[in-house]
Chains A and B, each alone.
Chain A
Amino acid sequence: MERVMQGLAFGALALTVVPPGLFLLQRLGESSMKAWLLVAAVLWFVTAPWALKGGAR
Chain B
Amino acid sequence: MSEEQPASTAPATHPGDEFERQPVPEHALKGPTAFWGMYAGEHTAGTEFMIGPLFVAWGVSAFDLLAGLLVGNLLAVLSWRYVTAPIATRYRLTLYYQLERICGRKLVVLYNLANGILFCFLAGAMVTVSATAVGVPFENVRMPTFQDTLPTNAAWCLTVAVLGAAMTFVAIRGYGFVARVGHLAAPWMFLIFVACGLVMLGKLGSVNLVELLTPVQGHQSRIGFWGVVFFAWFCNAAMHIGMSDLSVLRFARKPSYGWASAAGMFLGHYIAWICAALLLVYWVRHKGVDPSQGMAPGPMVWDAVGWAGLICVIIAGWTTANPTIYRAGLAFQSLYPRMSRATGTLIAGALCTLAGLFPAVAMKLLDFVGLYGTTLAPVGAIILVEVYLARRFGLLQDWAAQTGRSFNVAVLLAWAIPLVLFYAAYFGWGVFPSYLTLPVYLLTGALYLGLAKWLNRLESVPVGR
Binding site for B on A (CB under 8 A): 12-13, 16-17, 19-21, 23-26, 33-35, 37-38, 40-41, 44-45, 48-49, 52, 54-56
- B306, A16: Cβ atoms under 8 Å? no
- Measured CB to CB, the closest approach of chain B to A6, in angstroms, equals 13
Chain B residues with Cβ below 8 Å from A25 are 202
8 additional A-B residue pairs with CB within 8 Å, beyond A17-B198, A33-B305: A13-B187, A17-B191, A20-B198, A20-B202, A24-B201, A33-B199, A55-B180, A56-B180
Work out how many contacts link A and B, with CB atoms closer than 8 A: 75
- A20, B199: Cβ atoms under 8 Å? yes
Q: How far is the CA of A17 from the CA of B309 in the complex (A)?
A: 13
Which residue on chain B has the smallest CB distance to residue A49?
B184
Q: How far is the CA of A5 from the CA of B47 in the complex (A)?
A: 31
Binding site for A on B (CB under 8 A): 180, 183-185, 187-188, 191-192, 194-196, 198-199, 201-202, 207, 305-309, 311-312
- B184, A48: Cβ atoms under 8 Å? yes
Chain B residues with Cβ below 8 Å from A19 are 195
- Measured CB to CB, the closest approach of chain B to A13, in angstroms, equals 6
Q: How far is the CA of A49 from the CA of B312 in the complex (A)?
A: 18
- A23, B180: Cβ atoms under 8 Å? no
- A38, B308: Cβ atoms under 8 Å? yes
Chain B residues with Cβ below 8 Å from A13 are 187-188, 191
Which residue on chain A has the smallest CB distance to residue B302?
A34
- Measured CB to CB, the closest approach of chain A to B180, in angstroms, equals 5
- A52, B183: Cβ atoms under 8 Å? yes
Q: How far is the CA of A56 from the CA of B247 in the complex (A)?
A: 24
Q: How far is the CA of A48 from the CA of B185 in the complex (A)?
A: 8
- B195, A24: Cβ atoms under 8 Å? no
